[in-house]
Structure 1
Amino acid sequence: MRTSEQTFPADFTFGVATSAYQVEGGIENDWAEWERAGRLKEPHARCGRAVDHWNRYEEDYRLATAVGATAFRISLEWARIEPERGRFDEAALEGYRERLLKMKACGLTPVVTLHHFTHPTWFHRETPWHQAESVEVFRRYSRRCAALLEGLDARVITFNEPMVLLLGGYLQGAIPPGIADGALTMKALENLVRAHVVARRELGERLGRVQTGISQNMLAFAPDRWWNPLDRALVRLGGQAYNHAFHEALSTGKLRVNMPGVATTRVDLPEARDSVEFVGVNYYSRAHLRFVPRPPFIEFKYRDTQGRGLTDIGWEDWPEGFLQTLRDVKRYGKPVWITENGIDDRAGTRRPQYLHTHLGQVLAARAEGVDVQGYLYWSLLDNFEWLEGWGPRFGLYHVDFDTLERKPTPACDYFRQVATGKRLVAPL
């Protein structure tokens, strides 16, 4: 990498990311019900108080500024805001408003996600995503969220990783709502696109022109058997469906998924055309795809092809795929924000090198003309990691889950050097 490519522009944003259910604590929603049903990999794991960010948020804002962050991504918990259908909790809305105002006072720009996987307990029973009524319900929720964001100049993410929600919740049945039906998956996908459009409209009517987008989990894909034409076809079809179908719907107004025998749809949604101000990318790893002769015809595998060692959650450390992913989203002609990128590093020793290699790919993408404007590390804190429970540790800060004490990992110093100096440096 040439010296001229070592520097980030002065207005490049470095920040950190969290989500409500994983850090706040004290939330009763569909995931809490899923836990009580014993549906996690560790059936007795419970999120419970999480890491008590709801009460310790001021401390956590200070931790974010201490590593040079100038943006802080949170999500609003729909179950707090609308615990019963049609009844909004004014205390919860005021609580989020207070927290966002204090975030701004700390010099942190809010990046606010309206939907980060979780739902009120009534949602799947009364207005699930495969029913058209879900769009109106989300519109009404978004309208209340828009009101609490007034005057904050927040960047807004309507949906976090909608394809993960659909793959896990509607195709595999592994997360709420626990459905395994390809046709319903496609109906839910269409309604999620429509819900983004109406949410953006509500935000615009209340806030004027607001920077709005989605966060899409994007994997690099490779054939498990390079010589197998079916594996190679899966890479082509799976990459288009998983990485790009949602982004393309919000760019062109055409929703297209073609996974024969699994899920297929062709729907024109002209109202969705050009309906984002930025493209949000969550990038972690590469998956190898293998065709198997039984539904759903796909096996995902993570392989340590370069001898770097799989991350502690079992994913390949593949920074090269980050550059390719950023090249791929250049087609949408919008600014790009890295809304998540991070590593499960339980010893805390690999994260500085991970940051170095992945931030290097961001600079390489910018050198090729990709308009990457911000990088939000996942996550500020160790937290509850969905089906994995309390095992993974993605945090810049290590959290003692018994005492909830936050302690810096070696990555804090590295992140601070890069974020404040706007220059890629080698980890010590």
Structure 2
Amino acid sequence: MSTDALTFPADFTFGVATSSYQVEGGIENDWAEWERAGKLKEPDVRCGRAVDHWHRYEEDYGLATDVGATAFRISLEWARIEPERGRYDAVALEAYRERLLKMKARGLRPVVTLHHFTHPAWFHRETPWHQPASVDAFRQYARRCAELLEGLDALVISFNEPMVLLLGGYLQGAIPPGIADGALTMRAMENLVRAHVASREELLARLGRVELGISQNTLAFAPDRWWHPLDRALVRLGAQAYNHAFHEALVTGKLRVNMPGVASTRVDIPGARDSVEFIGVNYYTRAHLRFVPRPPFIEFKYRDILGRGLTDIGWEDWPEGFLQSLREVKRYGLPVWITENGIDDRAGERRPHYLHTHLAQVLAARRLGVDVRGYLYWSLLDNFEWLEGWGPRFGLYHVDFDTLERRPTPACDYFRAVATSRRLVAPATQAPLASQPSAAR
């Protein structure tokens, strides 16, 4: 392979990603209520102070620049900004503005997510996503967010992983708001698209121009039984609904979802066509799908077919699917940003190899004409991992959850070497196989 094939262009961005609830601490929102209701995998677990990024953000910006990052993804916490419907907290708005300005001054381009799963406590009671009032509620919030972004040249993400929010919160009832209703899922999905359009209008009105997209969790899908026609059909339907429905709606203006026996919709959304400037991809793993003869007719598995060892959270290490996902989004003809990619590696030994194999797929995608502009590693820090609580560790920096001390993992050296040289260097050692928590989750 030529030297050029191992080199990232000079304008390629290496960065890191976080989200407010998972790192800031001291947030009262729908997830805090969910925890108090005992609905995590360990009922007594609380996010609480998280890793106190709210007070240690300047230290954490320094950690990001120390590994060669030039972009830093955060989310704005709606519950801080609008703790009561219609009342906006001036102190919180000023604090976020200060953080963004200091980020920019440190040479870190802000990548700002408006909605990363969480909501103010009032939202699901007063303006839930399956009701039209949700769109105006998000519009008013986005208007305040637009004020924070003036002069920053931020990359903006309206929604992080909307399909995860919908499947978990509206179809399975596993996360807030805890609904399990296919028809309401589709209404909520339509309103999320409309809310994206509304946020775009507010951002353009204030900023004049904006680079706006969504971050879509993208899975590589495979049939659990390669020979079974219904497993193969599920792969086609699942990939279209899960990976592409939102992106297609924001490029074509047409929202089309077909999940037979579960939920479907066909609707044109005014203003949605060409409402994104980039495609955001979050990639972690591959899932094997099996048809089962009972609702929701699908069984979801992670398998270690090649013997690489499942990651510590139980996901398949499948970098090949990263290239597959990037090639599939080439169809939209837009720049691509990898807004999340990472591994739960609790010993800290596999992450350099994971980075190497996945960054190799980014270069392969670029050689095939996919316009990948940047790579944001998830995450800068170990943090609170939603239903999983404090077990998983995705951070470049290990965090002692008692003392909150940040310590570099071996991946910091590897990330820095690639980000500063712009070359795909080999990791110092091969990764050991992980323990096998289970073959399916």
TM over 0.5, shorter chain: yes
1:128-277 equivalent positions in 2, closer than 5 A? 128-277=128-277
Distance 1:286 1:230 in 2: 18
Distance 1:38 1:355 in 2: 35
Which residue of 2 is the match for residue 362 of structure 1? 362
Which residue of 2 is the match for residue 87 of structure 1? 87
Equivalent residue letter for 2:148: L
CA-CA distance at 1:271 after TM superposition: 1.2
Distance 2:190 2:40 in 1: 28
CA-CA distance at 1:406 after TM superposition: 0.1
Deviations 1:26-82 (A, max 9, x none): 000000000000000011110000000000000000000000000000000000000
1:57-96 equivalent positions in 2, closer than 5 A? 57-96=57-96
TM-score of the two chains, using structure 2 as the length reference:
0.97
Q: Higher mean Cα deviation, 49-58 or 267-276?
A: 267-276
Equivalent residue letter for 1:362: V
Distance 2:271 2:144 in 1: 22
1:16 aligns with 2:16: yes
Equivalent residue letter for 1:88: Y
Equivalent residue letter for 1:78: W
Which residue of 1 is the match for residue 116 of structure 2? 116
Distance 2:366 2:36 in 1: 46
Distance 1:2 1:32 in 2: 51
Equivalent residue letter for 1:148: L
Deviations 1:71-120 (A, max 9, x none): 00000000000000000000000000000111011110000000000000
Distance 1:368 1:382 in 2: 34
1:400-415 equivalent positions in 2, closer than 5 A? 400-415=400-415
Equivalent residue letter for 1:125: R
Distance 2:346 2:156 in 1: 31
Deviations 1:255-282 (A, max 9, x none): 0000100110000114100100000000
Equivalent residue letter for 1:400: D
Calculate the aligned-residue CA RMSD, in Å.
Answer: 0.5
Where does the alignment leave 5 or more consecutive residues of structure 2 unmatched? 429-441
CA-CA distance at 1:203 after TM superposition: 0.4
Equivalent residue letter for 2:67: V
Equivalent residue letter for 2:263: A
Which residue of 1 is the match for residue 437 of structure 2? none
CA-CA distance at 1:2 after TM superposition: 3.6
Q: Higher mean Cα deviation, 270-279 or 179-188?
A: 270-279
Equivalent residue letter for 1:422: R
Distance 1:346 1:216 in 2: 25
Distance 1:157 1:269 in 2: 19
Distance 1:215 1:2 in 2: 32
Distance 1:55 1:269 in 2: 41
CA-CA distance at 1:386 after TM superposition: 0.2
CA-CA distance at 1:208 after TM superposition: 1.2
Distance 1:210 1:234 in 2: 37
Distance 2:40 2:8 in 1: 40
Distance 1:270 1:335 in 2: 23
Distance 1:417 1:135 in 2: 44
Equivalent residue letter for 2:109: T
CA-CA distance at 1:157 after TM superposition: 0.2
1:313-324 equivalent positions in 2, closer than 5 A? 313-324=313-324
Distance 2:424 2:396 in 1: 18
1:323-342 equivalent positions in 2, closer than 5 A? 323-342=323-342
CA-CA distance at 1:380 after TM superposition: 0.1
Equivalent residue letter for 1:414: Y
1:292 aligns with 2:292: yes
Distance 2:253 2:150 in 1: 29
Q: Aligned with 1:222: secondary structure?
A: strand
Distance 1:412 1:304 in 2: 27
Q: Aligned with 1:219: secondary structure?
A: strand
Deviations 1:273-313 (A, max 9, x none): 01000000000000000011111111110000111100000
Distance 2:305 2:405 in 1: 37
Equivalent residue letter for 2:141: Y
CA-CA distance at 1:230 after TM superposition: 0.4
Q: Aligned with 1:271: secondary structure?
A: coil
Equivalent residue letter for 1:183: A
Distance 1:219 1:5 in 2: 26
Distance 1:334 1:267 in 2: 23
Distance 1:254 1:376 in 2: 29
CA-CA distance at 1:3 after TM superposition: 2.7
